[in-house]
Structure 1
Amino acid sequence: MGNLCQISSIFTLLLLSLEMFISWSWWFEGHSQVRDKVVRTILTVFVPTLLLLWYKKSKAQLPPGPYGLPIVGYLPFLRSNVQEKFIEMAHKYGPIFCLQLGSKLHVVVNSMDLVKVVTHDLDQTFANRNPKLSALTISYGGLNVVWSNKAYWRKMRRILVSQVMSNTNLNACQTFRTHEVRKMVNEVYTKTGTKVNINEIAFETELNVVTSMLWGNSKSGEKNDCGDMLDGFREVEFKIVQLLGAPNISDFIPWLSWFDLQGIQREMHKQWVHLDKIFDNIIEARITANAKKMEGAVDEDGRKDFLQIMLELKDQTDTLSSLNIDQIKALLMDMVVAATDTVSTMVEWVMAEILNHPRIMREVQDELTEVVGMNNIVEESHMVKLTYLDAVIKETLRLHPATPFLIPRCTDETSVVGGYTIPKGSIVYINVWGIHHDPKNWTNPLEFKPERFIKSGKWDYKGNNMEFLPFGSGRRICPGVPLAEKMLMYILASLLHSFEWSLPKDEEFELSHKFANVTRKSKPLIAIPFQRLPETSLYF
């Protein structure tokens, strides 16, 4: 009788938790058919399994955290404002806390000292990934740098860093950046006095630079091999980023993954098919050209683009360097998606903050006038002298970090952090958003004050200063930082030196966030450019 009562109690708790989960979770709003399907599936198929696997209390001392419900854990209580919720929890539970989300334990690290433990002292232990199903779909099963693990990750990162992000290669590609940024300035000039979408122009510029480096004809100014195939790519990428950030019940309760109840994997597969077709066409065209010994893969100085280098690695017998076609496409996906999205998003945020602070805009433009001159255009050689603009960019990255929790890590063995046990397989978030907004780390943290980055020379993007981690730290730091830094400075300096900017009077200006994997503006930034330089010839 006691067992029956216990089973009855468990079943009642299960029903209550399911009801709360389905009714409270934000991703089922407006999807009643999906909601009903979830309930039927769990009750008719998975109840026995879930009851057998119901929470077992661990003898280890886990980090503190809120209680959840059977089966679903704390999932029903999370809302879309995860950043604010985690900050509240950090105030309540301290520098590290945990949440049971479905079947997986999630640990959130909020203090500089503990971030250093995770990203430096125990970096190797915390260097794995636990990819979402949508991430596995778009990355050819985790074959890229972002989502791969351990030895395989080291191989792919080494190839990416040595062949694309090295100083030698970035310097060799300067003509691509110069050509595309000047083309951007000319395009904006044609729209003088009219509304311009800042994210859109930055995205197109960065996309052209990246594709030129990866597979474009190496002679500056000539059209990329992909022709018009990348038309509409911005919308595809936005969809990819949205799907990567969408909460998916299949990730939290793996037994449901086969059903893809929210359709996230199916939708991501559509985006993958679109990009995979582009990559196939580009690769096949290059292989054909190589077979006919045609020009295009090598420029007049003998420099090879990234695709040519990878195709040559494909033919090697050395397993440490060899690549197959899917690995090549996974690396292309990494560069095209990650580089373009991050840079265009941050250009938009920087311009938004500058437009919101006229004094700061005047100081940035005064510096540009002094360094560049009103009868000259911005060159990359000017970048090292633009200390105030650099401080403005860093302050923007502090207030609006591109990835507020970075890419979650996963432990490959049980470890101790801050006196608490972190079980093997736990998913670990580094709360960059919280650290960047913590009054213990920053005076008046909500104030936009670029001057705080000028007073000391310790600020950079290498992840050694735990107060400032916009691109991460340790071995999992973003490998694309060198290109992102160059393009952010170059695009912004060119836009601010060549044009005066104003906000449309008929549109409301705001700085609110739209949180996902990437911190976007809730409303796109629309601004109006006006000619600033005296000579019209400088715009052509």
Structure 2
Amino acid sequence: MAMNATSINVVISISFSTSMSTTIISLVVTIFSILYFLQLLSSWPCPWPLVGNLPQLFRHKPTFRWVHGFMRQMNTEIACFRVRNTHFIPVLSPEIAREIYKKQDAVFACRPLTLWTQEMSGRYKTVVLAPHSDQWRKMKKIWISEVVSPARLKWLHDKRAEEGDNLVFYVQNQCKVNKIVDLRLVTRHYSTNVVRKMLFGRRNFGKGTPDGGPGPEEMEHVEAVFITMKYLDLDGQQKLVKHVNKDLIGKYHNPIIDERIHQWRSGQREDMDDILDVFINLKDPSGQPFLTEDEIRYQLAVFVGPGSLRFPLGFLNNGPFLRILKLRIASVDNPSNAVEWAMAEMINQPQLMKKAQEEIDRVVGMERLVQESDIRELNYVKACAREAYRLHPLSPFNVPHMSMQDTTVAGYHIPKGSHVIVSRYGLGRNPKVWVNPHSFEPERHMNDEDVSLLQNDLRFISFSTGRRGCIAGMLGTYMTIMLLARLVQCFDWTPPPKGIDLSEAADDILTPATPITAFAKPRLPPHLYPI
């Protein structure tokens, strides 16, 4: 059959287009295949076209260990990994960290903006996740003056003291029934109790249990607090964050908040008892509420919420997420993780436990329980806690700081928009800074007359520093030391038959691989134990 000119042109055009497409696809596949095999053969993480170092970060898990291993191999304490158009710059050196957090603090005072942080913070209403803005300055001022000021912490002292007594009561009951105590459950239960008591004036969302332990509501609440640390996947992050928000804010917080607001507005409540009352009663110069209801909800969620959420890497706003980073938001998991590790190390080295008990007996005696007022003199106990924060940080990296302009750090050019991530893990185990960095040695911190958990020279990170550092360092100190000191003072501890497992979890959080358990036996006169 004859074919006219128009038909011939169409056929030639289609054939040419198909041929060109096949050639381009083949060329792209060939290039990426060559790059892939070069990556396998090379120790250098060369960035891929368009996606940067994303393939390496996907392939190597847990990612933070690969990052640290690469930096050790290259003998560098600062590096740059590119994911699409975003530069991530991990830092392992105290000197470089001080340059970022102190000398150039104003340049790195911003946070990355992501769909994830927007969801978690109610569109950046919270002090931790808000970018450098008027909202951040507003919320920081409120936290410093109204939540964690010395006067406010003194006002809330009795609530923390009550939870210290409940801690002893609960562990003693575990001794009677099970003999062996789950220290992860104990430390997390205490930490969440303290925070709930200060925020809402209550220990339990439900009825609790007669032995002082958590009820089903508290167990579910704690699970919501910690779930994002362990079960983040590459596709379900947005869904998971919304689930956590629903559990934390919708199911448990909102009914209390709504009822309390109604009580104040209707005149049923007149006396302030907790932080929720404080937030509701803050007024602006015209006498109107200073915080919106949403601001109150998200501030409380951040305070009691997940303390080490995984921070999404990369292009952040419209693609898959990575699990390299953690975001320490609050005061729940940091003290509980540090004390679980400290107890594990001290039970594993009984001479350390004995030395800590002797110090408490000398300072406090055997006829009363240790109190917050004793903390100043408990230098060895504080040294044990410091060593736990140094050697066993929960989060491999600190919260990202985003550069607001081009700058130079340690002689390296840092482009505007780069995410600088100081490594808690790398600082604390830096062999240039610490002798025997992998050994738990509290004595290394006993050079000062007054040992402090704060670490302003950034040889390790406990509560961070700088204008975007943790503003609740004093509260964190009270919670950490009281939790550790009560466990050490009130009970003798011996390991289970299989011993203490000091291995770290094989993912992106640095909890013990298995919850620390040990046998406990009361060591004080019976009348001192709360009933």
Answer yes or no: is 1:173 the counterpart of 2:156. Answer: yes
Counterpart Cα distance in 1 of 2:31 and 2:254: 48
Q: Is the 8 A contact 2:160 2:197 kept in 1?
A: no
Q: Structure 1, residues 147-200: CA drift from partner, whole Å, max 9, x if none?
A: 111122221121112111111111111111111111110111111152222121
Is the alpha carbon distance of 1:463 and 1:447 closer, same or farther for their aligned partners in structure 2, counting shifts above 3 Å? closer
1:274 is matched with 247
- The residue type paired with residue 399 of structure 1 is L
Q: Structure 1, residues 305-355: CA drift from partner, whole Å, max 9, x if none?
A: 221222223776589x82212211111011112211222111211111111
Counterpart Cα distance in 1 of 2:466 and 2:479: 23
Q: Structure 1, residues 497-518: CA drift from partner, whole Å, max 9, x if none?
A: 11111222156623324553x5
Is the alpha carbon distance of 1:4 and 1:235 closer, same or farther for their aligned partners in structure 2, counting shifts above 3 Å? closer
Q: Is the 8 A contact 1:368 1:497 kept in 2?
A: yes
Q: CA deviation at 1:73?
A: 2.2
Answer yes or no: is 1:154 the counterpart of 2:113. Answer: no
Is the alpha carbon distance of 1:13 and 1:305 closer, same or farther for their aligned partners in structure 2, counting shifts above 3 Å? farther
Is the alpha carbon distance of 1:281 and 1:314 closer, same or farther for their aligned partners in structure 2, counting shifts above 3 Å? farther
1:69 is matched with 48
Q: CA deviation at 1:466?
A: 2.6
Q: CA deviation at 1:460?
A: 3.6
Q: CA deviation at 1:291?
A: 2.9
1:526 is matched with 517
Q: In the TM superposition, what are the counterparts of 1:111-510 in structure 2 within 5 Å?
A: 111-151=93-133, 152-192=135-175, 194-216=179-201, 230-242=218-230, 246=232, 248=234, 262-277=235-250, 278-295=252-269, 298=271, 303-313=272-282, 322-337=290-305, 338-457=330-449, 460-506=452-498, 509-510=501-502
- The residue type paired with residue 269 of structure 1 is K
Is the alpha carbon distance of 1:284 and 1:460 closer, same or farther for their aligned partners in structure 2, counting shifts above 3 Å? same
Is the alpha carbon distance of 1:312 and 1:453 closer, same or farther for their aligned partners in structure 2, counting shifts above 3 Å? same
Counterpart Cα distance in 1 of 2:409 and 2:23: 36
Larger gyration radius, structure 1 or structure 2: 2
Answer yes or no: is 1:11 the counterpart of 2:28. Answer: yes
- The residue type paired with residue 367 of structure 1 is E
Q: Is the 8 A contact 1:463 1:477 kept in 2?
A: no
Q: Is the 8 A contact 1:377 1:494 kept in 2?
A: yes
Give the 3-state SS of the residue equivalent to 2:87 in structure 1.
strand
Counterpart Cα distance in 1 of 2:266 and 2:206: 19
Q: Is the 8 A contact 1:65 1:93 kept in 2?
A: no
Q: Structure 1, residues 105-142: CA drift from partner, whole Å, max 9, x if none?
A: 11112222211111111111111111554333222233
Is the alpha carbon distance of 1:476 and 1:457 closer, same or farther for their aligned partners in structure 2, counting shifts above 3 Å? farther
Q: Is the 8 A contact 2:500 2:516 kept in 1?
A: no
Give the TM-score normalised by the residue count of structure 2: 0.81
Q: Is the 8 A contact 2:383 2:451 kept in 1?
A: no
Is the alpha carbon distance of 1:507 and 1:456 closer, same or farther for their aligned partners in structure 2, counting shifts above 3 Å? closer
Q: Is the 8 A contact 1:345 1:520 kept in 2?
A: yes
Q: CA deviation at 1:376?
A: 2.1
Q: Is the 8 A contact 1:128 1:149 kept in 2?
A: yes
Counterpart Cα distance in 1 of 2:454 and 2:476: 13
Counterpart Cα distance in 2 of 1:470 and 1:171: 22
Counterpart Cα distance in 1 of 2:463 and 2:528: 38
- The residue type paired with residue 516 of structure 2 is L
Counterpart Cα distance in 1 of 2:35 and 2:145: 50
Is the alpha carbon distance of 1:459 and 1:390 closer, same or farther for their aligned partners in structure 2, counting shifts above 3 Å? closer
Counterpart Cα distance in 2 of 1:444 and 1:364: 21
Q: CA deviation at 1:415?
A: 1.2
Q: CA deviation at 1:226?
A: 7.4
Give the 3-state SS of the residue equivalent to 2:268 in structure 1.
coil
Q: In the TM superposition, what are the counterparts of 1:66-105 in structure 2 within 5 Å?
A: 66-78=45-57, 79-91=60-72, 92=74, 94-105=76-87
1:38 is matched with none
Q: Percent identity?
A: 28
Q: CA deviation at 1:489?
A: 0.7
Is the alpha carbon distance of 1:86 and 1:215 closer, same or farther for their aligned partners in structure 2, counting shifts above 3 Å? same
> How many residues are paired up?
470
Counterpart Cα distance in 2 of 1:504 and 1:18: 51
Is the alpha carbon distance of 1:461 and 1:365 closer, same or farther for their aligned partners in structure 2, counting shifts above 3 Å? closer
Counterpart Cα distance in 1 of 2:30 and 2:115: 28
2:211 is matched with none
Counterpart Cα distance in 2 of 1:109 and 1:416: 14
Q: CA deviation at 1:76?
A: 2.6
Counterpart Cα distance in 2 of 1:519 and 1:133: 26
Q: Is the 8 A contact 1:406 1:471 kept in 2?
A: no
Unmatched tracts of structure 2, length 5 or more: 1-15, 209-216, 306-329
- The residue type paired with residue 362 of structure 1 is K
Is the alpha carbon distance of 1:514 and 1:330 closer, same or farther for their aligned partners in structure 2, counting shifts above 3 Å? farther
- The residue type paired with residue 195 of structure 1 is I
- The residue type paired with residue 361 of structure 1 is M
Q: Is the 8 A contact 2:120 2:241 kept in 1?
A: yes
Give the TM-score normalised by the residue count of structure 1: 0.80
CA RMSD of aligned residues (A): 3.0
Give the 3-state SS of the residue equivalent to 1:368 in structure 2.
helix
